[in-house]
């Protein structure tokens, strides 16, 4: 089982969101279809747009200052993307049911009522992801330091909410972080506050920020093909340096962390329930 890299996770989410949005456009026009389907589509499209911007900032050729990347923990990115991957996997199952021609005849008002709680659950998860992404963009792009520092608080709060709502993810990350025993690079002094400094997170056993990693592309998520129903849109085990590094070249320490994560998460995946849930 190979883990999922941050670049492949973003590409996969973008692909999944586009597919889901297309189906929801078609189904939301059916007779008796609830308005919440349009909300699902709109929220999925908003997340897709936000992720595209984040992709350009983290993996593109733009120059993001070390001062700003020091305000975001690597694990905050990992948590946000991991939860987003699993949410779109769950939503893909439900949307796949809607997209089946065999089921078109059963979509009456009673059927939609029976699915109201499922639609609400998916919408709540999407709204959570939609809220967690803007703080990252604010931190990386706003000229005002005050706005960036406020966004640090918002991001910490949102990441904690994600962890609180996903115990499997919290368990995997906690075990991996403890085994890796990561220490941040302190060779360069900064005058800005460190990420998450004013709030204690469940993942705070590591304070490694984006400014402490050589190439964000070699960071892995604790997500495997076996966890996902839409695994075909993701390329697992692909870690490379084709994207522009945040600073320097990929270090042997970064590659070592990937090897440790891969081994440890395989063990955890075998001992914990999967992310997938029935829709």
pLDDT in tens, 103-120: 666 777 888 888 999 999
Whether residue 277 is contained in a domain is answered as no
Whether residue 276 is contained in a domain is answered as no
With a pLDDT cut of 70, the percent of the chain lying above it is 69
Quick one: pLDDT at residue 119?
94
Whether residue 16 has pLDDT greater than 80: yes
CB 4 within 8 A of CB 224: yes
Whether residue 61 is contained in a domain is answered as yes
Quick one: pLDDT at residue 10?
93
pLDDT in tens, 39-53: 999 999 999 999 999
Whether residue 279 is contained in a domain is answered as no
Least confident of 190-199, 218-227, 256-265: 190-199
Quick one: pLDDT at residue 183?
40
Whether residue 45 is contained in a domain is answered as yes
Burial letters 152-184, b for 16+ CB under 10 A, else e = bebbbebbbebbeebebbbbbbbbbbeebebeb
Domain that residue 106 falls in: 4-182+189-271
Which position has the higher pLDDT, 136 or 263?
Answer: 136
Question: Confidence band (pLDDT; 50, 70, 90) for 11?
Answer: very high
Which position has the higher pLDDT, 275 or 208?
Answer: 208
Which position has the higher pLDDT, 213 or 28?
Answer: 28
The chain-wide mean pLDDT, for the chain, equals: 75
Whether residue 98 is contained in a domain is answered as yes
pTM, rounded to two decimals:
0.74
Which position has the higher pLDDT, 68 or 129?
Answer: 129
Whether residue 131 is contained in a domain is answered as yes
Quick one: pLDDT at residue 128?
93
CB 216 within 8 A of CB 246: yes
pLDDT in tens, 213-233: 766 777 788 888 888 989 999
Quick one: pLDDT at residue 146?
75
Quick one: pLDDT at residue 15?
95
Quick one: pLDDT at residue 158?
92
For tokens 């320490």, the residue is: 253
With a pLDDT cut of 90, the percent of the chain lying above it is 33
Number of domain units in the chain: 1
């Amino acid at each position: 089982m190979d883990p999922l890299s941050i670049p492949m996770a973003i590409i996969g989410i973008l692909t999944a969101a586009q597919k889901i949005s297309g189906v929801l456009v078609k189904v939301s026009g059916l007779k008796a279809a609830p308005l919440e389907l349009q909300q699902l589509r709109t929220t999925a499209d908003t997340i897709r747009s936000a992720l595209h911007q984040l992709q350009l900032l983290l993996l593109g050729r733009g120059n993001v200052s070390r001062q700003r990347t020091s305000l975001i923990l690597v694990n905050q990115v990992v948590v946000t993307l991991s939860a987003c991957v699993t949410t779109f996997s769950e939503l893909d199952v439900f949307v796949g049911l809607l997209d089946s021609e065999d089921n078109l005849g059963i979509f009456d008002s009673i059927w939609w009522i029976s699915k109201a709680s499922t639609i609400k659950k998916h919408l709540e998860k999407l709204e959570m992801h939609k809220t967690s992404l803007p703080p990252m963009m604010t931190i990386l792009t706003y000229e005002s330091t005050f706005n960036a520092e406020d966004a640090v608080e918002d991001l910490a709060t949102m990441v904690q909410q994600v962890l609180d709502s996903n115990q499997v993810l919290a368990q995997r990350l906690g075990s991996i972080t403890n085994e890796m025993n990561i220490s941040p690079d302190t060779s360069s002094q900064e005058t800005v506050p460190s990420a998450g400094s004013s709030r204690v997170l469940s993942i705070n056993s590591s304070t490694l920020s984006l400014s402490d990693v050589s190439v964000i592309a070699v960071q892995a998520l604790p997500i495997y093909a076996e966890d996902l129903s839409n695994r075909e849109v993701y390329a697992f085990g692909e870690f490379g340096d084709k994207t522009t590094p945040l600073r320097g070249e990929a270090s042997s320490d970064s590659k070592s962390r990937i090897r440790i994560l891969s081994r440890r998460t395989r063990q955890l995946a075998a001992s914990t329930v999967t992310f997938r849930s029935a829709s």
